[in-house]
Amino acid sequence: MLGPDRGGQRKLPMRIKICGITTPDDAIMAAEAGADAIGLNFVGGPRRIDIPQAEAILSRLPPFVVPVALVRLTGPATPELNEQLAELLATRWVSHVQVYGDVTPDAVARLAWEGYRPIVPIPVRDAGFARERPAILDKATAALLDTHDPNALGGTGRTFTWSWVADARERRELADWPPIILAGGLTPENVARAIAETRPYGIDVSSGVEDGPGCKSRDKLRRFIAEARKGEGDEAT
């Protein structure tokens, strides 16, 4: 079963990202369970890691599993963690960056020009979230739909109303958006339904596959990815 690309056209298999990876063993577990990508959090919260931790994870990451760096932009497009992070991104070929902070159209465009692939989180507040396409998506590789929380950048562990995405797609409001990644409160118990309703290019999970903050569960990882593939297969085209 193929996942939707721009305009809802099916072109590529759906991608699964396991975010908030804090140890090499958890990265390997995610890969063994079938993850396509992992997220390395340099922004904040209980899953934030430093450069040595990231280097240890990347050194053991299996081939063909894509690392995504969560970074805070300061000014035009400078990652918060100074030159060390920039060096890590360059030397370890971490090209996908999920951006927070001073996210402006110019900052995203600069990152794209420098060879990065920016993933831009979009907080979903209500049913009209897609009526006006945000300019910050002009040069984005993907739009990550997450639950709006005025007190948090992301990672709330709460769902939003998935029918809002389906309705926006029906109204063709997402036709000129980049590929959509669904986040926010996904678990092994609800992910199949979430995929069937929203038809995303990819999904992103962190707390829903953990035994505790930053500690991934082998059983939950396996169940989550199995249910996600089931939802992908059950989804109407």
The residues carrying an active-site annotation are 19, 146
Its sign, for the CA torsion 201, 148, 189, 40, is positive
Q: How far apart are CA 138 and CA 99, in angstroms?
A: 14
Residue 79 Cα distances to 14, 88, 202, angstroms = 29, 11, 25
User: Which residues have C-beta within 8 Å of that of residue 132, sequence separation ≥ 6?
Assistant: none
Q: Are 97 and 144 in contact (CB under 8 A)?
A: no
Instruction: Report how far residue 110's alpha carbon sits from residue 98's, in angstroms, rounded to the nearest whole number.
Output: 14
